[in-house]
Structure 1
Amino acid sequence: MDRLVFGSLVVDQVHAEANRVHRTPRLVRTSPSEFVQLCVLRRGRGTVSQGDRRAVLTRPGDFVLIDTTAPYVYQFESAVEQVIVQAPRQAVLSRLPALADMTAMTVPGGRGLGALTASLLLALPDHRDDREDPVAAAASASAIDLATQALQDHLGFDVGPRNSSRSVLLRRAQQFIDENLSDCELTPSAVARAVSISERYLFVAFEEIGTSPAVWIRQTRLKRAFELLTDPRQQHRSIQEVGAAVGFTRGTHFSRAFKEQFGMTPRERRMQH
């Protein structure tokens, strides 16, 4: 077993002979855990039982969700290779309120969102070193989003437009932008890498709200600057420092963009306030 920490995820790459894992009610009581496991098959055949459900994994990429706060049995009849991704239970529960009814359900990894999820989860062990930086945190959140959406899609849950995988990824991209406005290298390609999607898919997601990633970044920067200029706690900052705080490296560029957006210069805004 090789272990890797990636953002909020703990990733184990497992090679084993035929085996049986039984988390008993006693172990649940004496060794509490607050993780949900995403078990992705790379080679072999296995079954997972939890509650009154039983999932069978037969093809590479097939995966299943297991809640470690409840008993389960995981059995392999032959040698097996798999990737076990442990995600914080609360993070999964916020996306899957009906978690208790969705464990031990096989999600095929050969098509659709299941295939996309499996390829992402199986690639996580390729990171040689632990990563707990903001990019890894955002990417791990996107992995949880994608896995839960694949499960709901396979089971036929009506997740609605607000909770569709594209909308979830869009919100994750917007959150990453909000948290990294001071980075002058914040570009659409950087955002796409952070949330583990292609730049083309990022543009498609933003098209659904009538804009583009570059325009969203620019407008979000200017809105944040507008707020900073009226914040009494920021009065000690110069106009150029406010611009730098939202990613504008040149004061003249910041002033020009601000006036185009709001019809006044940053200095006029501060004086007005």
Structure 2
Amino acid sequence: MRNPVPRVAAIHDLSGFGRASLTVVIPVLSAMEVQACPMPTAVLSTHTTGFSDYCFNDLTPFMKDCVSHWINLGIDFDAVYSGFLGSSEQMNIVSELIDSLLERDGSPLVVIDPVMGDDGKTYGPITDDMVLRMRSFISRADVITPNLTEAAFLLNEPYSDSIDEETVKEWLLRLADMGPGVVIVTSVPYESSDKRTSVLAYDKGSEKLWKVSCDYIPAHYPGTGDAFASVVVGSLLKGDSLPIALDRAVQFTTLAIRASFGRENPEREGVFLERVLDSLKGPVVMSSYELLE
């Protein structure tokens, strides 16, 4: 760790309304005593799930200038964490930042959340070219955190919401062969129950497969993937093991969903993040991870 307070280059979009991307990433990392340095990839009036006619302002020119300025300043980052990227050019800009940190004898943790879609469909701004480019971009990552849909896109496999665990385990190894050291796939169906869901992960260094399960709650809140990945980033930077980082992320995301589900609030507005941020300061309540064969 190069900085007394871990420092993360947080490269995501910024939506004015709806808890997602940077409006989730920044408070989660801050609550975990990690400095989030945002580089917005786009500014939107709202996020893209559940809203129509939203305003979208691409910030590629700003990103170029921002990376150039950060490089000239010689800022050290303990991690580079990217989420929604709006073009192949933006991936090149993020790669430039990563390369500059590596050239200065740094070894930042590189986490790529390949934000492309959910429920078998791409998000509005994502094109087929973006999906193709993402397949090579993830080779830059130490950790990737796709959901099941995004894992299928990366592998050019058909999406199914009833995929079996053995297939997902095979996908994890194939994704790791594409470059990342750790592959975490979220939203995996639980084989023996429609009331539970799982997160599966593969650590290429130790050749271990991990699983964390939780109760399925029949709601779909945008931004929960951002919350999950942000907790993983913060936890790894604080020195937690991979299975503990997974546990923390699952527990926090589940708590945020539960805090929101009982209220008559539109799902598109996201979870009541503000109600549960303090829980990130506590220890893991219960370790529920499993080591898979």
* TM-score by shorter chain over 0.5: no
TM-score with structure 1 length normalisation? 0.27
More helix by share: 1
In our comparison, the structure showing a higher alpha carbon Rg is 1
TM-score with structure 2 length normalisation? 0.26
